[in-house]
Structure 1
Amino acid sequence: MQPSHLSTRRAGFHRNLARIVVGASVCVMCLAATVHGGGFNNNNGRAVGGVMIDASGIVRTATVDEKMDLANVMRGVVDQPQGEMAEVAELRMISLRKLQAAISESRKDGAPLPESISFLAGLQRIQYVFVDKENKDIIVAGPAEPWKLMDDGSVVGTQSGGAVLRLEDLVVALQSVEAARTEGITCSIEPTAEGRQRLAKLMRSIKLRPGQSPAVYEESMKQAFGLQTISLTGVPQDSRYARTLIAADYEMKRLAMALAQSPVTELPSYLQMAKNGRQNASQNPRWWMACNYDAMSRSEDKLSWKLTGQGVKTLTEQDVIDNDGKAKRGGRADKIAQSWADKMTENYEQLSRKVSVFGDLRNAMDLSVVATLIVQEELDKRAGLDLSVLSQPNDDIELVSYTLPKAVSPECSFVRGRSGWVVTASGGVDVNAFDIVQNQKTDDTAMTKLRSTALASTDSAAWWWNK
C-alpha cells in the first residue's frame, strides 16, 4: 500500500475514533500500530486493552461494545502481513542497525511506519541477542508469527494467540534503563487508608439475615472504599509500557477476586478457593507479578546471549491493616493466597493467550531484560553500533503520550469466612531486569554455534530474516 493511501485510511480512523471517544474514554490496551512511529495518535492519547481510562485519569473496565467499536475502526488500518512475514518462523532475526535505517527511511516523506516495523516483524518473544562486530550490529531473535486483530482490539499471533512485541515498548525499555537502575520499574494499585477505614466501619455495621447475600451491600461498599491510587516508577507514566503494567495488575486482581471470569479452568478465583476458610479482616492478600527467567546463557566472549524461562511469576504475602487503615507488609503468605499465586504462575502461558494483556506484560519484561543487557554489558559499544534512533528521543519515532493514570474506579468483591471478611487485595508489578542480567552462566560451544548459524543466514538487504 502506498503511503498516501495509508494516510487517507488513518485520517478516516481518527474521524471514526473521535465519534467513539466523545471526550470520554478509549480502551487502555487496544491500540497497536502507528501513525508517527509509536502508536495510533488519537490526540487525547487515552488508548492502549480491556480497561478504560477517562479524561481525568480514572481507570475502569471496558464494556464489550466499547472494545468492539474500537476494533471495528482498527480493522480499516491494520494490514495483514505479506510474503515470508505471513509465515510462522521458529526463529526470526532482527538487525537493530537495519531496523533503525528502515525507520529513518520510512519517515523521510512523513509517512507512518508500516505495521511490520511497529509489530517488530511479528516477534512473539526474544530468545537470543547476538553481537555482529563485523557488520557493527546487534541481532535479536525469537519465534515469530503473522498477526491478526481480535474482537477486543488486541493484536496477536495467528497460530498461538500470543501478543506481538511492539516497537514503542522496545524504545521505552531502552530509554528507561537508567531510570530503572535508580528506582526500578514498578506499578501498584493501592486502596487509600481513608477508604479502608470507611469500608471497615461499614463492614462492622453489616448484619446479614439468614440466607441474605452480602451482594446487596456492593454499591455502598464501593462508595465507602473510594478510588484506589496508582503508583508507577521507572518508565514514563504516559507510555504504552506503563499502561501495560497498570492493565495487567488490574486484570490480575479482577481474576483473583472473581470480578472477571477466569478463561483458564485450572485457575479459579481466590474467592472460590477461600470460601468457608478462616478469614481475618485485619489481613488481606497482596499479589504482584515479577520477572521469572532462568540464568542467562552466554558465550565466553559475551557476543552471544540466550534468554529462557516463562518470563512472569506471581508472588504473594499478607498485608496487615492497622486501625488507621494503613497497610503494612506482613512478610508471610496465606496458604490459600499462595496456592492461587502458584496456580497463576503455572498457568501463565495459557492465560497470556486468553487475555492478551498478560502476553503484553511478558513482552515488556523481555524487552526490558534485553535493553538492560545491551546497556549493562555495553553490547552497542562492543558492536560499534550507534543505537540513538531507538535509545534517544528523536523525530523518527514519536511516542504517543497517553493520559496520565491517577486512580482506579472501585470494584468490590468479598468473601466471608469464619473469622472475618476479605474484601479486596493490593499488589502490582515489579520488573527487575538487572537481577536477571546479572544471573549468567557460560555455555560457550552451544552459544557460539547458534550465533554462527544466525549470522550466516543474514540477508544483507533486509532488516529481518528467518533462520
Structure 2
Amino acid sequence: MRLPTLMISAICLAMTVSTADAGIGLGNQQSVGGVMIAPDGSVRAATVEEQKEMAQVVRNAMQAPTGELAQATDRRVISLNGLQAALKEAHESGQHLDTETMFLAGMQRIEYVIVDQENNDILLAGPAEPWMVRPDGHVVGTETGGAVLRLDDLVTAFRSVETARNDGGIRCSIEPTAEGRLRLQNFLKNVKLRPGQNPAYLEAGMRQAFGPQQILLAGVATDSRFARTLVAADFEMKRIAMGLTQSPVAGLPSYLEIAKHQAQSSVSSPRWWMACDYDPIAHDAEGRVWKISGQGVKTLTEDDTFDKQGNVRSTGRQNPLATKWADMMTEQFEDLSRERPVFRDLRNAMDLAVVATLITQQQLDHKSGIDLSVLRGNDSQVELASYDMPKTLEPQCSFIKGRAGWTVTASGGVNLNAFAISENAVKDETLGNIAVASDSASRWWWDGE
C-alpha cells in the first residue's frame, strides 16, 4: 500500500495536488525557487502571472495554522518517535499528510538535538512560526519571512547520509563543457570592439558558442526536492553574481558592477560556491544535548584556469574582487534569503543534513534506543516525490572586457560537507539544563520553555 500524499515542489513554489505520483509533495515539478526548470534543460524565471497562479494553488492546497501553530515560539520541539508514528498512521489509514506535518510544525531552524533515553526518542528543538503564502507562491514564516523546514528534506537528509559518506559529501555544480570553452575562446578571438561599443550585443553569440552546461550532483538522489534546491540556489547565485538578474539587496551589487574597468585574464575566471558555515557543535558532558549554531551558509571563491583543450583546473588563487563579492554575499545572506527564499531553503537543507549526519555519526539513535527505519526508508512507508532533473541547462554566462582580455563567469556550485560539521564538536556542560519536557502525549510536537 502506498502512502498517498501531496506533491511538494522543490522550493515551495507552484504547488499543485497530484494523485498520479505517490510521495510526499505539493508541487508543479518544473518550478524551483522561482526558477522554471524543464526536463529538456530550459530554464527561466517564473513570470508574475505564473507566480500569482502558483500562490493561489498553494493556498487552496494548504491548511492555515491554528491554535499554538498560529503563534511564534523560540522553542518548538519535535519528537522523531511521534513524527514517525504520524507517518505510519497516515500510511495505514490511506490519508493525506496534513500541512503541519509536511512543514514540520512551522520550524524555522533546528538548534538542539536531544537524546531522550527515558522515552527511546530523539527530540529536535528550535524556533517556529506560523506560515503564510507570499504573493509569489513561497511558503514562509510570518515573523521572519524565512522559508519553513520541510519533511521531505528531512527524509532525504536521513536517506543520503551513507551516499554522501561514499561520495565525499553532497555537491552540486553547473559547469560548462571543455568543448564549449574552446568554442567560446575561438569566438572571442574574432571579436573586435570599437571604442565605446557595448559588448552586451555579443551575449547571444557567446551563449551559443558556450553551449549547454552540465548539471553535476553527488551525495544525494538526483530526483529529490533536496537536489533541486541545490541546483536552484546555485543557479540564482550565479545570476545575481553575473548581473543576469537584479540583486534584491542594496548591499549586494553584481560582481560585474564591482569589477568594471579592472584588468581581466583571458584564461582564468572566478568561480563561487556556497558551503556550510557552522560554529563547532556543542554538547553536554553526557552527549545527551547537542547544540547547532551559526549562519549555516557562506560563499567562497577561487579562480579557475583552462588549457588549450578547454579543460579546467583550480589555480588555488583568489581574485580579490571575487573574494570581495563572496564576502558581501555571506554578509548579506540573511537579507538575501528573505528576498529570495531559495537561499533559506538551501540553508534548511544544510541544517537537516547536519542533523541527520550528527545523529548517524554520533550514534544518537543507538544511545536513545529509537528505531529510525521510517525516516531512513528501510520499510518503504514513506515515499518521496520524484522530480525530473535535466542533465544539462541552457548556458547562463556573463562576461567582462577588461584591459588584459575577457573574463567569462559561468561556474558555481554548492558543497555540503555535513560530516566535517558533525565531527567538529566541543563540550559545554551548561547544555544539561535544557528543558523540553512534553506537555502533550497525543501529538508529535509541542512548545518548550
TM bracket, shorter-chain basis: over 0.9
Q: What CA deviation, in whole Å up to 9, does each residue of 1:356-376 have, x standing for no partner?
A: 010000000000000001111
- Residue equivalent to 1:23: none
SS at match of 1:232: strand
Q: Which residue does the alignment assign to 1:290?
A: 275
Give the corresponding residue for 1:324: 309
Mean Cα deviation higher: 46-55 or 282-291: 46-55
Aligned counterpart, 1:408: 393
CA contact (8 A) 2:230 2:346 kept: yes
- What is the deviation of 1:458? 4.0
Which position in structure 2 is the counterpart of 1:50? 34
Q: Deviations along 1:209-268, whole A, 9 cap, x unmatched?
A: 232211112211111111110000001000000000000111111110001111111111
d(CA) in 2 for partners of 1:194 and 1:325? 6
> 2:48 maps to what in 1?
64
Aligned partner letter, 1:75: R
The 3 A distance-change label for structure 1 pair 34 and 370 is: farther
> What does 1:31-430 align with in structure 2 at a 5 Å threshold?
38-40=24-26, 45-183=29-167, 184-430=169-415
Cα deviation digits, residues 371-390 of structure 1 (max 9, x gap): 00111111111111111111
Matched-pair contact (CA < 8 Å) for 1:128–1:307:
yes
SS in 2 for 1:76: helix
- Structure 2's unaligned 5+ residue stretches are none
Q: Per-residue deviation at 1:63?
A: 3.0
Deviations 1:324-368 (A, max 9, x none): 211110100000000000111111111111100100000000000
Deviation of 1:64 (Å) = 3.0
Indicate the larger mover: 150-159 or 332-341: 150-159
1:49-108 deviation per Cα after TM superposition (whole angstroms, max 9, x unaligned): 221221324444333333333222222112211110011011100000001111222333
Contact map agreement 1:130 1:304 (CA 8 A) in 2:
yes
Matched residue type, 2:164: A
CA contact (8 A) 1:29 1:50 kept: no
CA contact (8 A) 1:27 1:52 kept: no
1:124-172 superposed Cα distances (whole Å, 9 cap, x missing partner): 0100000100011100011000111122222111111101000000000
2:414 & 2:16 partners in 1: Cα distance?
25
Q: 2:436 aligns with which of 444, 454, 461?
A: 454
Contact map agreement 1:285 1:319 (CA 8 A) in 2? yes
CA contact (8 A) 1:31 1:49 kept: no
Secondary structure class of the residue paired with 1:108? helix
Deviation at 1:283, TM superposition (A): 0.8
Q: Distance in 1 between matches of 2:275 and 2:205?
A: 34
Give the partner amino acid of 2:267: S
Is the 1:60–1:409 Cα contact (8 Å) retained in structure 2?
no
Question: RMSD between aligned alpha carbons?
Answer: 2.1
Q: Distance in 2 between matches of 1:376 and 1:231?
A: 26
Does the 8 Å CA contact 1:288/1:429 hold for their aligned counterparts? yes
Q: Which residue of 2 aligns with 1:3?
A: none
| Post-superposition offset of 1:423 | 2.1
TM-score, scaled relative to structure 2: 0.94
- Other-structure match for 1:30: 13
Q: 1: distance between equivalents of 2:334 and 2:436? A: 27
Q: CA deviation at 1:454?
A: 1.2
Q: Which residue type is aligned with residue 302 of structure 2?
A: E
Question: Are residues 29 and 192 of structure 1, via their aligned partners in 2, closer, same or farther at CA, if it must alter by over 3 Å?
Answer: farther
